[in-house]
């Protein structure tokens, strides 16, 4: 019953550097293979830069260009003349600060709700393990098989007038925050992580007179930072990309996030200002991704095991 | 309260001996009831949120399809009338075919390209991180932003970005989103551009799981690189490829943001999809019953697709 690896260490350990893949070091010394794969890799990188980076560079360039410049040199990646004031003009003209603030409020609340739900549910199902746990877990997993769009209308009517309580949530952030918590996938991730924590720890703590809440707060949460980080990143990135649901439940422009406001603004603005708005909406998720790309990539690797 | 470190380590000398004569799974009845109660406290937020925003809407979907509601009076039962209204709508077959066309095109590009990219990326000796970042960047951008950006790229006439690129290789300006034939392929390009990165990363994760010993053995047997990819890599990846293929089909059938923001179903209804119809019935015409009826049909189609798919793949994978 000794502890060999703590789950935290197991998560942090990335795949050991492989000494070979499909090709061995011997293959890499063969001129035909070397030249062929090098050429393919160059083509791959050209494609990745052309499709992954250039559209974003173009967006930056277009955001600080004049409309005439955009029409005359559509393919140039350098603005001529550079109009940095476009961004500030767009900011005030389109009221971007306000919509960006709404986005941050929506994303922040969704993140907190998902974190609370997945941590408490994971703890109850993986650590306390009550007799009815498997039924609850089954009912949670069931929702993975029902795509959100299928229940869209029923969910909307629920949010419009909560049964038993009779409150309507539309045009309030709660309409986005609470449904974000109904995410079976994050519960599944956290539960699996908690199951890897050696049960001896809990039994020892119980012998010392710790209650479940103490075990949750003092043992499990401090040990589960890696998985909570993955859940946080996934939930923040997802919430930032939301479009259809906020479009439906937030009809009041005062409450709308940038994603919902932009298509409406697109109909009546100068393209250069619109693209400034697009740029501002993209910068936060891009920054988060580039900073935390290792954890995010690992989280996506997990999601490949889904299903 | 304090937790003694040796208790926490769980390996204090003598504990193993103690547990040998005391089976640890036995809990007193009271403790068991207390655990059930404590678990309920921890599960409360989940049960409330899933109850209201997952389980109740799922159950309601089956009911609302047979009701008519105007949100003021109590809903009334109308039986199959919602479905009759739906099948009388000439737009429905059009939307179904459009959705099918979108799905077919999405798979034609969205299946082989990410797989090829992932195989090439897995053999990179340097720059793997950079390649991963570049591949995933389009996914990070909010879909609304990519759709509006590509709407600018696809602007017709000679000054559009895509048309200028075509002009550089001597092809003449195409009326992308304005043409009923080209509008749907344009949407597929955008959807694939913003979705391929996820598939690439999942394939990459699966590729690193392929055991190198298999490659070693194949190489000793004189298998060429292409033979190794055909006979080892792809068979080892089969499970992941099949799951992703199903997820891509299910995702493509539910396409909404691209047709809604880019073309709003036009031109001449060439890009009206099933989900766009659901949205219009509910939020344009306020006809929630018909919208739910269509959602229910969509759900049935998805279930049938998944069932056929699982049946087919099971017969493939048991060789």
Which of B39, B129, B165 is the closest to A75 by Cβ? B165
Count of other CB atoms within 10 angstroms of residue A233: 20
Residues in chain B within 8 Å Cβ distance of A18? 208, 212
Are A205 and B219 a contacting pair at CB < 8 A? no
- For B14, phi then psi, to 5°, come to 95, -20
Q: Which candidate in B52, B209, B289, B306 is best for mutational testing of the A interface (most A CBs within 10 A)?
A: B52
Mean pLDDT in residue range A27-45: 90
Which of B151, B202, B212 is the closest to A18 by Cβ? B212
pLDDT at A122 over 90: yes
Q: Which residue is closest to B255 within chain A, CA to CA? A: A149
Q: How far apart are CA B278 and CA B293, in angstroms?
A: 9
Residues in chain A within 8 Å Cβ distance of B298? 149-150
Contact A87, A64 (CB under 8 A): yes
Which of A52, A140, A244 is the closest to B256 by Cβ? A244
Q: How far apart are CA A261 and CA A258, in angstroms?
A: 5
Query: Quick check: bond before A235 cis, omega within 30?
Result: no
pLDDT tier, A186 (very low <50, low <70, confident <90, very high otherwise):
very high
Min Cα separation B15/chain A (Å): 10
CB distance from B286 to chain A under 8 Å? no
Query: Quick check: bond before A81 cis, omega within 30?
Result: yes
pLDDT at A17 over 60: no
Q: Any idea where the domains of chain B sit in the sequence?
A: 96-313
Min Cα separation B184/chain A (Å): 19
pLDDT tier, A18 (very low <50, low <70, confident <90, very high otherwise):
low
Helices (H), chain A: 7-12, 25-28, 31-48, 54-63, 67-72, 85-93, 96-123, 133-142, 152-160, 174-180, 184-195, 199-207, 212-214, 221-223, 225-241, 244-249, 258-266, 271-291, 293-303
Q: How far apart are CA B8 and CA B23, in angstroms?
A: 20
pLDDT, tens digit, 9 for 90 and up, residues A249-299? 999 999 999 999 999 988 878 888 889 999 999 999 999 998 988 877 777
Q: How far apart are CA B115 and CA B107, in angstroms?
A: 12
Cα–Cα–Cα angle for A236, A237, A239, nearest 5°? 65
According to DSSP, the residues that pair with B67 across neighbouring strands are B77
A13-49 as b/e: b if 16+ CB within 10 A = eeeeeeeebbbbeebeeeeebeeebeeebeebbeebe
Distances (CA, A) of B22 to B19, B187, B188: 5, 65, 64
Cα–Cα–Cα angle for A295, A299, A301, nearest 5°? 115
**Which residues of chain B, if any, have pLDDT below 50?**
1-26, 319
Contact A262, A281 (CB under 8 A): yes
Min Cα separation A125/chain B (Å): 8
Query: Chain A to chain B, count of Cβ pairs less than 8 Å apart?
Result: 327
Predicted pLDDT at B223: 86
Q: How far apart are CA B254 and CA B183, in angstroms?
A: 18
Question: CATH number of the domain at B96-313, out of 3.90.25.10, 3.90.1260.10, 3.40.50.300, 1.10.3720.10?
Answer: 1.10.3720.10
pLDDT, tens digit, 9 for 90 and up, residues A141-154? 999 888 888 899 99
Predicted pLDDT at B27: 52
Tokens (6 digits) for A289: 């991704």
Q: How far apart are CA B147 and CA B165, in angstroms?
A: 19
Q: Write out the H or E segment, with its range, that includes residue B192.
A: helix B183-207
Which of B64, B135, B233 is the closest to A154 by Cβ? B64
Q: How far apart are CA B309 and CA A130, in angstroms?
A: 36
Q: How far apart are CA A23 and CA A193, in angstroms?
A: 34
State chain A's mean pLDDT as an integer.
Answer: 87
Tokens (6 digits) for B307: 């069932």
How remote is the C-alpha of A160 from its chain's centroid?
A: 26
Predicted pLDDT at B211: 84
pLDDT at A9 over 60: no
Q: Which residue is closest to A184 within chain B, CA to CA? A: B50
Residue A208's nearest CA partner among A224, A219, A197, A195 is: A219
Mean pLDDT in residue range A160-168: 88
pTM over 0.75: yes
Residues in chain B within 8 Å Cβ distance of A201? 8, 10
CB distance from A282 to chain B under 8 Å? yes
CB distance from A39 to chain B under 8 Å? no
More confident position, A66 or A219? A219
Predicted pLDDT at B316: 67
Task: Describe the crossing of helices A293-303 and A225-241 by its angle, rounded to 10 degrees.
Answer: 90
DSSP one-letter code for A94: T
Query: Which residues, 6+ apart, have CB-to-CB distance to B5 below 8 Å?
Result: none
**Residue A71 falls in which region: left (phi positive, over 0), alpha (psi -120 to 50) or beta:** alpha
Residues in chain B within 8 Å Cβ distance of A163? 52, 56
**Burial level of A272, CB count in 10 A (0-12/13-18/19+)?**
buried
Q: Which fold has domain A94-304?
A: MetI-like fold (1.10.3720)
According to DSSP, the residues that pair with B68 across neighbouring strands are B76
Look up tokens 């950079």; give the residue.
B130
Count of other CB atoms within 10 angstroms of residue A281: 24
Q: Any idea where the domains of chain A sit in the sequence?
A: 27-73, 94-304
CB distance from A133 to chain B under 8 Å? yes
Q: How far apart are CA A269 and CA B214, in angstroms?
A: 58
Q: How far apart are CA B305 and CA A96, in angstroms?
A: 42
Min Cα separation B165/chain A (Å): 8
Cα–Cα–Cα angle for A285, B253, B55, nearest 5°? 80
- For A208, phi then psi, to 5°, come to -80, 5
């Amino acid at each position: 019953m000794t502890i060999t690896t703590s789950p935290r260490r197991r998560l942090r350990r990335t795949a050991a550097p492989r000494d070979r893949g499909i090709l061995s070091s011997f293959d890499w010394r063969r001129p035909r293979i070397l030249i062929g794969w090098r050429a393919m890799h160059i083509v791959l990188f050209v494609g990745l830069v052309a499709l992954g980076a250039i559209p974003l560079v173009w967006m930056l360039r277009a955001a600080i260009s004049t409309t005439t410049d955009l029409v005359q040199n559509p393919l140039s990646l350098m603005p001529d003349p550079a109009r940095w004031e476009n961004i500030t003009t767009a900011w005030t003209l389109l009221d971007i600060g306000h919509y960006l603030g709404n986005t941050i409020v929506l994303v922040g609340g969704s993140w907190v709700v998902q974190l609370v739900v997945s941590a408490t549910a994971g703890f109850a199902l993986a650590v306390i393990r009550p007799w009815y746990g498997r039924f609850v877990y089954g009912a949670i997993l069931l929702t993975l098989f029902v795509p959100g769009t299928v229940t869209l209308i029923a969910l909307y009517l629920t949010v419009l007038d909560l049964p038993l309580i009779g409150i309507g949530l539309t045009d309030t952030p709660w309409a986005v925050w609470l449904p974000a918590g109904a995410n079976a996938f994050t519960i599944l991730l956290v539960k699996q992580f908690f199951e890897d924590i050696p049960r001896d720890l809990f039994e020892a703590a119980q012998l010392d007179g710790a209650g479940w809440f103490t075990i949750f707060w003092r043992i499990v949460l401090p040990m589960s930072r890696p998985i909570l980080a993955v859940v946080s990143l996934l939930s923040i990135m997802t919430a930032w990309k939301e479009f259809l649901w906020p479009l439906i439940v937030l009809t009041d422009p005062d409450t709308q996030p940038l994603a919902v406001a932009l298509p409406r603004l697109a109909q009546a603005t100068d393209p250069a200002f619109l693209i400034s708005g697009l740029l501002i909406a993209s910068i936060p998720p891009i920054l988060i991704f580039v900073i935390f790309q290792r954890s995010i990539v690992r989280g996506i690797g997990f999601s490949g095991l889904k299903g | 309260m304090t937790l003694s470190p040796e208790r926490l380590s769980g390996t204090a000398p003598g504990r193993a001996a103690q547990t040998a004569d005391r089976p640890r799974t036995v809990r007193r009845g009271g403790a068991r009831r207390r655990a059930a109660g404590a678990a309920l406290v921890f599960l409360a937020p989940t049960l409330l949120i899933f109850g209201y925003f997952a389980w109740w809407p799922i159950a309601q979907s089956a009911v609302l399809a047979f009701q008519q509601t105007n949100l003021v009076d109590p809903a009334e039962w109308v039986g199959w009338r919602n479905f009759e209204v739906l099948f009388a709508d000439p737009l429905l077959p059009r939307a179904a075919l459009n959705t099918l066309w979108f799905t077919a095109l999405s798979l034609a590009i969205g299946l082989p390209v990410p797989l090829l990219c992932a195989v090439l990326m897995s053999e990179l000796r340097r720059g793997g991180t950079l390649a991963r970042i570049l591949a995933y960047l389009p996914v990070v951008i909010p879909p609304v932003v990519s759709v509006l950006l590509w709407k600018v790229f696809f602007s017709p006439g000679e000054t559009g970005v895509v048309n200028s690129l075509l002009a550089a290789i001597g092809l003449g300006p195409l009326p992308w989103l304005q043409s009923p034939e080209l509008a749907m392929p344009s949407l597929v390009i955008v959807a694939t551009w913003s979705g391929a990165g996820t598939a690439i990363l999942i394939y990459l994760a699966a590729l690193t799981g392929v055991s190198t010993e298999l490659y070693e053995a194949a190489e000793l047997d004189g298998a060429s690189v292409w033979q190794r990819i055909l006979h080892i890599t792809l068979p080892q990846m089969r499970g992941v490829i099949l799951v992703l293929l199903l997820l891509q089909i299910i995702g493509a059938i539910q396409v909404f943001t691209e047709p809604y923001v880019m073309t709003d179903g036009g031109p001449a209804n060439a890009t009206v999809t099933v989900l766009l119809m659901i949205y219009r019935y509910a939020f344009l015409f306020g006809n929630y019953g018909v919208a739910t009826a269509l959602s229910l049909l969509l759900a049935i189609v998805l279930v049938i697709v998944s069932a056929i798919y699982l049946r087919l793949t099971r017969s493939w994978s048991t060789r």
